[in-house]
Amino acid sequence: MNLKISALDYIQEVKIGNISAEDFVAKTLEQIHNEDDKLHAFLSVNEKAVDQARDIDKKIKSGEKVGDCFGMPISIKDNLCIKDSKTTCASKMLENFIAPYDATVIRKLKQQDAIFVGKVNMDEFAMGLTTEFSAFGPSKNPWNNDCVPGGSSGGSAVSVSAFECVASLGSDTGGSVRNPASFCSAVGFKPTYGLISRFGLISYANSIEQIGPLTRTVKDTAFMLNMISGIDPNDNTTIDNKNEDYLSGIDSGIEGKKIGIIKEMIGEGIDPAVLSATKDAISKLESLGAICEEISLDMVKYSVAAYYTITATEAGSNLARYDNIRYGYDFPLEGYEFNSYISKARRNFGPEVTRRMIIGGFVPSSGQAGKYFLKALKVKSKLTNEINDAFKRFDLLLSPTVPVLPFKLGEKIDDPVSLFLVDINTVTANLTEKPAISVPFAISNGLPIGIQLMADTLQDKQLLQAAYALEQTVRLPEVPL
Amino acid sequence: MIGLEIHCQLTNLNSKLFCPCKANYRGFEINENICPICIGLPGSMPRLNQEAVKKATIIAMALNCSTPEKIAFFRKNYFYPDLPKNFQITQLNIYGDTSVGGTGSVMVGDKKINITRIQLEEDPGRLIYEGSSSKNQITLVDYNRAGTPLVEIVTEPDFETPKEVRDFLNILSDILENLGVADPSLEGAMRADANVSIKGGKKVEIKNIGSFHDLEKAVHFEITRQESLHSREIEIIQETRHWDDKRKITVSSRSKEEELDYRYFLEGDIPWVIIDPATKTKLISEMPESIVSKKERYVSKYHIPAQVADVLSSDKYYSDLFEDSHTESNAKEIANIITTDLMGLVDTREKREASKLTPHHLKDLADSIQSSKLSRNSSKNALHEILKTGKDLSIIIKELDLGNVSDESELSGIITQVISEEAQAVEQTRSNPQTINYLVGKVMQKTKGKADPTLTLNLLKKQIGI
């Protein structure tokens, strides 16, 4: 049984009866069992997965209508609610929280007969980009176990690249899908803001984040997008995409497309290997008929500062509900007055979340808001204007996904500012609500490099076509498990 | 100077402001009317009740407030056990006019009270304190109320006396009831905070006032307190005070609420709501007729006395009954029945709910009086019976034998009898016709009030010969 197949190949194989869902899911669980002591992608595993797969096989055999996923094993970032399952956000604060309802994306995937093999690791409440801030220990990069897998959706990227699932769902607030996808050599996609319902995604910075798939191929991402996108009455920010089929015409090519290369994202601080991969990607795209040209975006240099100011403000508010009153962990209430109780109960947050709670209390406060939060909103709006102008000239914008190669565990954890700068290429898409994707493009000294493409609002289909074209230009080695 | 912040629940809506739970949470078991959204479970998102936006806009328009084309929601961040998310979704105007209503005004008699703004927001849960002393006190939270749509109406400090406050609140609750957006008689459906200051003193906010009746008292107490401080040259400090319901006094709040920094920012989960001119036109066309316009119509069209028209128009229960029962010819009679006979019988919510009266009954009553089938006196008895049983008027008249004696020969017989019994009074009437009423009264006595008064008078005059 070959686990190393794409989602679309899996569906095809099950459809024609070459493999059974039960066998494949059982093998996948075995893979998790074998690899995860080392990689630590999973926080919990669905013990009923094989039974669920067997039921789907029965449906197939009896000729009953089967959902489009045909029992495909998917892993889910642990900030997405699955009914009756633990949803911890990799935090001690939600260590025992069992969601009483399904996120919209989960409901949609269930309807299509997907199987959730488990909940995967992340930085606590999605704050971080290495998965080292998980309260339950870091995940490891399958390409080099001494290196971080990226984050915050680190468990998603690891599980996809180590064949512990066929596809995964993560969430992307400032690059949290694209960054680990790049570090683990997976495809990671953040759609246009509002394309996928966030209902059931535990908010970190709700005005800019989106759920996004992590897959082995661009086509798989398009397939996943078909499954989970669309308007949702439970999320007022969703957009009606009229049941767009993102797979159809994915091989349309990029001939004649104008691609802007963002100067500020290939400048200072970039790893030479990443720069050379980026140049290689540009020449490959040019050879396919794309027209590439450098563009300077002045506001990009303020984007990370604006990003951390806005996200800390929203996080400070979104995480205020964790007061351990309605749910949480075991902590006796008796003898406390309200304010002293919550300040004590909230000490269960880890260091990065605590840091951002403190920043989030400060930057929007009266007397400071003008200097920080309101200024950050101005940067966001100016950056959006600048990007909108750029998309008048270009169909796509290109940069490396991350300016550096995967680094060692522990290397940057005590240096939050240098860690923040790793986000420089990814936050712009979130702040401007644009779709962006990371495509695996190169392996340098055994470490993956991803290329990021960005498109204009609701040009997600065009973006996937370009990503597919880029993907087809390279053949990458297999992960050395 | 007194300014008010009035909170009015939109109790007539089906669901809460951001979830499908019931807007009218009364009658539920504790923590029964809740869902992942209104108790702020991780991953839940607000789902804006568009009907609430419409109702709040209607209120703004009825209070002559400006209404912006785009409205937005903001988060007010603070920790409190009754707030499931530890922030409240509300509106404000500090970053431009994005609240559902801007400046407006309401006339209270000849005085204009200015409205500062109107905002739509969610009600928090309800705290229940148990335990006898502060040592063993425990606080329980009931989230049934959390997320109930609330409209906050903020006034300018335009009031000068507690009486003006009271009059304004009466007019306001009549308007809200007439709009069909709320039932102010429900417990806790309308609540208010007051800002009170006297010349030379700082502003004092009074919170936790449970009823409008107490609000008037609280304002009165606070003015007296401040004046007494002022006369003794003690400084009046800016503070928040709570109304102590039991002792009927205001008490300084030890909590540092006024020092809280709410860190307001835009609620990203709710996109801006567009209320374009077409929507506004439609809302205006769907708005019920205003109390003022009703009153004018009652006076000009039916010649109902202004005072009667005032009572009739300002209470939605009465005006609805009137609208559904009157015709051009019986309007005045119906107005009369409602404002003199009915009013005392249905003065509470419970009595109104128990009443079996329909507009049809009222029409029958008025028509019967006008056609002299029923005396005014008997109509009161009939009304009592209708409220209790809901039976048809014709059946009640028969069952209680209330019908007028309007048969001339029958009445003539009774009159002959009275004349023979009251010889002295008959003599008196001959010299002073004014005293004939005494004889009419005697006839009424004999007929148990059922004699047709006009016919009785005519027959009496005829038989006495005046």
A237–B75 CB contact, under 8 Å: no
B141/A203 Cβ within 8 A: no
For residue B367, the distance in angstroms to the closest alpha carbon of chain A comes to: 54
**Beta-carbon separation of A323 and B268 below 8 A:** no
Q: In this structure, are residues A413 and A130 in contact, taking their beta carbons and an 8 Å threshold?
A: yes
* pLDDT score of B402: 79
Burial bucket for residue A431 (CB in 10 Å: 0-12, 13-18, 19+): buried
The stretch A381-393 carries a mean pLDDT of: 98
More confident residue, A115 or B236: A115
Report the alpha-carbon distance of residue B344 to residue B421 in Å, rounded.
38
Test B41 with A326 for CB contact under 8 angstroms. Answer: yes
Residue of chain A whose alpha carbon sits nearest to that of B81:
A338
From the list A152, A171, A182, A197, the catalytic residue is A152
**pLDDT at residue A14, rounded to an integer:** 97
pLDDT at residue B460 in the model: 86
**What is B408-464's CATH topology?**
Arc Repressor Mutant, subunit A (1.10.10)
pLDDT of res. B259: 65
Q: Which two tokens stand for residue B133?
A: 């002393």
More confident residue, A263 or A269: A263
Chain B contacts of A235, Cβ < 8 Å? 45, 47, 269
Asked whether the beta carbons of residue B45 and residue A101 sit closer than 8 angstroms, the reply is no
Q: What is the pLDDT of residues A57-105, one digit of tens each?
A: 999 999 999 999 999 999 999 999 999 999 999 999 999 999 999 999 9
A350/A135 Cα distance (integer angstroms): 7
- Residue A466's contacts (CB-CB under 8 Å, 6 or more residues apart) are A254, A257, A259, A290, A395, A396, A453, A455
A237 CB neighbours in chain B (<8 A) are 268-271
Q: What is the pLDDT of residue B78?
A: 94
Please tell me the predicted confidence (pLDDT) of residue B258: 54
Q: Does B48 touch chain A if contact means CB atoms closer than 8 Å?
A: yes
pLDDT digits (tens, 9 = 90+) for A32-65: 999 999 999 999 999 999 999 999 999 999 999 9
Residue A205 · residue A79 · CB < 8 Å: no
Residues 6+ apart with CB under 8 A from B244: B250, B251
Residues of B in contact with A231 (CB under 8 A): none
Decide if B125 touches A, using CB distance below 8 A. no
- Give the residue ranges of chain B where pLDDT is below 50: none
Q: What is the pLDDT of residues B165-180, one digit of tens each?
A: 999 999 999 999 999 9
Contacts of B140 in chain A (CB under 8 A): none
- DSSP secondary structure code for residue A124 in this structure: G
Distance between CA atoms of A451 and A468, rounded to whole angstroms? 12
The whole-number average pLDDT for the span A402-414 is: 93
- Number of continuous H segments (helices) and E segments (strands) in chain B: 16, 15
If DSSP codes are grouped into helix, strand and coil, which group holds residue B425? helix
Q: Which CA distances in Å does A218 have to A187, A316, A444, A462, B125?
A: 6, 35, 21, 12, 47
pLDDT at B347: 87
Are A199 and B87 a contacting pair at CB < 8 A? no
pLDDT at B453: 79
Identify the burial level of B345 via C-beta atoms within 10 angstroms of its C-beta, where 0-12 means exposed, 13-18 middle and 19 or more buried. Answer: middle
Which of B36, B75, B79 lies nearest to residue A323, judging by beta carbons? B79
Closest listed residue to residue B291, CA positions, set B333, B319, B325, B317: B319
How many Å is the Cα radius of gyration of chain A?
A: 21
Q: Which residues of A touch B264 (CB under 8 A)?
A: 364
Q: Which residues of A touch B (CB under 8 A)?
A: 79-81, 87, 89, 94, 97, 99-101, 103, 198-203, 206-208, 233-237, 313-314, 316-317, 320-321, 323, 325-327, 338-339, 342, 361, 364-366, 369, 373
Q: Tens of pLDDT along A193-226?
A: 999 999 999 999 999 999 999 999 999 999 999 9
Q: Which residue has the higher pLDDT, B191 or A448?
A: A448
The torsion angles phi and psi of A15, rounded to 5 degrees, stand at: -55, -45
Q: So where are chain A's domains?
A: 1-481
Assess contact for A214 and A185: CB atoms under 8 A: no
Q: Is A77 a catalytic residue?
A: yes
| B411, containing H or E segment | helix B408-421
CB A82 within 8 A of CB A119: yes
Q: Do B45 and A199 touch (CB under 8 A)?
A: yes
Pick A1-481's CATH classification: 3.90.1300.10, 3.80.10.10, 1.10.1060.10, 3.40.50.2020: 3.90.1300.10
- Give per-residue pLDDT as tens, A319-363: 999 999 888 888 887 778 888 888 899 999 999 999 999 999 999
Nearest CA in chain B to A209: B268
SS3 B5: strand
Distance from C-alpha of B72 to C-alpha of B398, rounded to nearest angstrom = 63
* CA atoms within 13 Å, Cβ hemisphere of A361: 10
Least confident range from A14-23, A364-373, B206-215: namely B206-215
Whether A248 is catalytic: no
